[in-house]
């Protein structure tokens, strides 16, 4: 848990409730957390899902690992401590989107189970939906894809603390959904996520 440094700060409540925002948008906000190896297909499915939700008139916003590290988390590296802080910050951002009634599509390797569980707990404390989606792709397949050439660099020792090579990945114990991207088509993956969202009552159309 991150220590509260600032003093004399208090949460300021407004006049608009979360239920009010959800009613206006016609949906419940939620955080969909895609986790898995680099190259597993997290961003690919999130991009396709965002497009499908737009077609349905459902507001969503995609929070991508590299995009976040180019902005708000540009001061963080890939040590265990920095990874934890990276996930803590994005968890707080995703929670704000969820509170606003927007569906947050968060695509992060997020290799440590404790960090993902902390984000889940953060949402649970406020009664917000958090859906962990394990993008399950064998390391061998992810390394074969290697869309950014990162595995090759990690194998050559040019990148340190790389998940799956010299840093661990801890699989989710009980994710809400598992997408086996080496066996499923992209359309099947998107359909599976949409079906779960409908089942959870996040969106009402089918």
> Which residues are annotated as catalytic?
107
| DSSP of 66-105 | HHHHTTTTTT--SSHHHHHHHHHHHHHHHHHHHHHT-EEE
Q: Under the phi-then-psi rule, with left for phi > 0, alpha for psi from -120 to 50, and beta for the rest, what region is 146?
A: left
Q: How far apart are CA 14 and CA 86, in angstroms?
A: 28
Give the tokens for residue 1: 């848990």
Query: Using CB atoms within 10 A of its CB, is residue 33 exposed (0-12), middle (13-18) or buried (19+)?
Result: buried
């Amino acid at each position: 848990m991150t220590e509260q440094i600032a003093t004399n700060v208090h949460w300021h409540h407004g006049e608009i409730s979360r239920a009010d925002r959800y009613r206006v948008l016609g949906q419940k906000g939620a955080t969909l957390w895609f986790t898995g190896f680099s190259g597993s297909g997290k961003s690919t499915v999130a991009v396709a899902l965002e497009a499908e939700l737009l077609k349905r008139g459902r507001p969503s916003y995609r929070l991508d690992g590299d995009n976040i590290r180019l902005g708000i988390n540009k001061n963080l590296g890939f040590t265990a401590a920095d990874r934890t802080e990276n996930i803590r910050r994005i968890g707080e951002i995703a929670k704000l989107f969820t509170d606003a009634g927007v569906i947050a599509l968060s695509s992060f390797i997020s290799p440590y189970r404790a960090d993902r569980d902390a984000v889940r707990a953060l949402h649970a404390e406020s009664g917000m939906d958090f859906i962990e989606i394990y993008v399950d792709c064998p390391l061998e397949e992810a390394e074969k894809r290697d869309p950014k050439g990162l595995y090759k660099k990690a194998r050559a020792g040019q990148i340190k603390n790389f998940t799956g090579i010299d840093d661990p990945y801890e699989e989710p114990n009980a994710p809400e959904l598992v997408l086996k991207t080496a066996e499923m088509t992209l359309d099947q993956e998107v359909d599976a996520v949409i079906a779960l969202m409908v089942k959870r009552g996040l969106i009402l159309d089918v």
